[in-house]
Structure formats: C-alpha cells, structure tokens
Amino acid sequence: MSIKPEERIAATLARLILDPAAPPARHIAVGAASPIPAAACWLVKKQGHPVRLSLLHKRSGNPFTEGSRELFDLTGQGRIDLFFLGGGQIDGQANINLVGTGAWPGTGVRFPGSFGSAFMYVMTPRTILFRDEHSPRVLVDKVDMISAPGVSPPGVFRRGTAQALVTGRCVFRFHPDRARFTLDSVHPGETVASIRAETGFDFDVPDTVPATPDPTEAELALLRGPVCDEMLETYPEFCARVFGRKHAA
C-alpha cells in the first residue's frame, strides 16, 4: 500500500509535535474538521508519549463536560500547549483566512468561518498550521481578510504563534521575529523551484533543503491500525478514504 498524502502529513505533524526544540506539548487540543491533526496526535499517543489529548469533536468519551466553552477557558488560562489551524488562505506572515475571498464577509468564495481561531492562535503557546492543498490560491502573498493574525504588535498580549506550516508539498518553519517562513523540508518529487512555483508568498531558503522523511513502517502500521480505530467514529469519511476502513454503524 503506497503512502497517502494525508499519512505523510500526519507523520510530519507528529514529528513537529515532538520537536525537542519547541516548548513541551503536555496537553494538545484538536478543533473542528481536523482529521489529519487528530491522526497526528493519536500517532504520538500510540507511540507511548505521555500527552493529554482533548479532541473537541469526539462523541463517545468527549473530554469536556462544558463543551467548547471549556476548551476556550482552558486556553485562556494557558492550559492548552498546542493547537492546530488550517486556512482557506494562509499568507507569508502566517495570517490565516477562514472567512472567504473578495470583500467581507466573503463575496467571492465563502469559507465556513473563523471558528475559535481569532482567540486560539493568540492564546496558545504553539500552533501548527496545516493544509493539504499547496497552491498559489491557498498560499497567498496577503490574505483577503484576516481571521487570526500571525504576529501581533508589541504590547498586545500573545502567548505564541505558528511553529510551522505543513502542506502536501513541504514543511515551512515560521519566524515571528521577522514574520517570514523558511523552507524546512520538501516532500518526495518536490524541489525548491517547484515549491516556489506553487507558493504565492516569498519565503527564505537555507543552503540545503532536506527531503521530508517518509513515515516509517511502524508509523504507518500505527496510523492504519490503532489510530484509525480511534478516529472511525468522528471521521468516518476520512477513515474510509485514507485508511480504506468502514465504520460499523
């Protein structure tokens, strides 16, 4: 069975979660419509790392007894270490747009909306951005509108920002001090030139850019087995498409 793009992104996210250079991730939250980050978190957990996972949309055994309000209150206090955000558009300053294109509130294409991003991105020490589609329409020079900003002016309370952006083609690291991304690794089949061609924003490139490592056999076995088992109830369509597994209703 060949490696699916979603499996590669999940394994890459898992390595970023465990990055020893980043602040520790003791309590990780996963929001709505986030099957790939959920898979990455379960992979970390099934590898035996002692993390607390709070998956907002888990039905059986949901971690919260006060719904999403409890997630935001925990985050407000600084008790969530890591969160994940996607974006209909993401720009070179790590601003994310979940509202839409054109004029406010999305007169071109309307996306679902900002969810908790305008709070979570600012109040969580670490955020990992993810988006499988890597194209100039998604990765833009400047987002049409800002759901949540990548950096804040001095004096505005902020605990953290993007650690990295993982796409279907590469991994970028974010540097908030200069509000720019650096290319960190490229997935198989990609080059610096092909990433440049598919990216609407300018970014920095080190002298050598390594290949993103493939998921190991052990990681794939965990993803397709115990990780999928945990996700079937919440993400049946994703599990059927990526892991070829059906949820017994």
Partner 1 sequence: MTPIPLEAMAASVPDGALLALPPDNSLPSVALARALVRRGAKGLRLLGVPVSGFATDLLIGAGCVAEVETSAVSLGEAGFAPRFSAALKEGRIIVRDATCPAIHTMLQAAEKGVPFMPLRGLIGSDILANRPDWRLVDNPFADGGDPIVLLPAKSPDVAAIHGVMADAEGNVWVGRRRELATLAHASKRVLATVERLVPGNMLEDERLAPGCINATYIDSIAIARRGAWPVALLDEYGFDAAHVAEYARLAKTAEGFAEYLARHVLGQPAQAAE
**Nearer residue to partner 1 within complex by CB, 63 or 200:** 63
Sheet holding 89-91, edge to edge: 96-97, 89-91, 139-140
Rounded to whole angstroms, the Cα distance separating 204 from 10 reads 24
Q: Is 135 in the site for partner 1 (CB under 8 A)?
A: no
How many residues in the chain?
Answer: 249
Q: Is 23 in the site for partner 1 (CB under 8 A)?
A: no
- Minimum CB separation of residue 238 from partner 1 in Å reads 7
Q: Is 244 in the site for partner 1 (CB under 8 A)?
A: no
Q: Is 72 in the site for partner 1 (CB under 8 A)?
A: yes
Beta bridge pairs of residue 170: 186
89 Cβ neighbours under 8 A, 6+ residues apart: 96, 97, 101, 137, 138, 139, 140, 143, 144
Q: Which of 65, 177, 218, 248 binds partner 1 (CB under 8 A)?
A: 65
What residues from 40 to 59 belong to the interface with partner 1 (CB under 8 A)? 57, 59
Rounded to whole angstroms, the Cα distance separating 101 from 74 reads 32
Which residue is associated with the tokens 């965990």? Answer: 222
Region of 1-9, 61-69, 183-191, 215-223 interacting with partner 1 (CB under 8 A): 61-69
Q: Is 153 in the site for partner 1 (CB under 8 A)?
A: yes
- Minimum CB separation of residue 47 from partner 1 in Å reads 26
Judged by CB under 8 A, the number of residues near partner 1 is 52
127 Cβ neighbours under 8 A, 6+ residues apart: 82, 83, 84, 85, 120, 121, 160, 161, 162, 163
Rounded to whole angstroms, the Cα distance separating 171 from 211 reads 10
For residue 207, the tally of other CB atoms under 10 A from its CB is 4
Q: Is 152 in the site for partner 1 (CB under 8 A)?
A: yes
Q: Which of 113, 188, 210, 225 binds partner 1 (CB under 8 A)?
A: 113
- Minimum CB separation of residue 36 from partner 1 in Å reads 13
Q: Is 179 in the site for partner 1 (CB under 8 A)?
A: no
Helix axis angle, 35-46 to 5-17, nearest 10°: 60
- Minimum CB separation of residue 214 from partner 1 in Å reads 27
Q: Is 107 in the site for partner 1 (CB under 8 A)?
A: yes
What are the structure tokens assigned to 141, written together?
């020079």
Region of 12-20, 140-148, 204-212, 222-230 interacting with partner 1 (CB under 8 A): 140-148
Q: Which of 2, 60, 217, 218 binds partner 1 (CB under 8 A)?
A: 60
**Nearer residue to partner 1 within complex by CB, 72 or 214:** 72
Contact 75, 66 (CB under 8 A): no
What are the structure tokens assigned to 76, written together?
């407000």
Applying CB under 8 A, the residues found at the interface with partner 1 are 32-33, 57, 59-60, 62, 64-70, 72, 75-76, 98-99, 104-107, 110-123, 145-149, 152-153, 155-157, 233, 235-238, 249
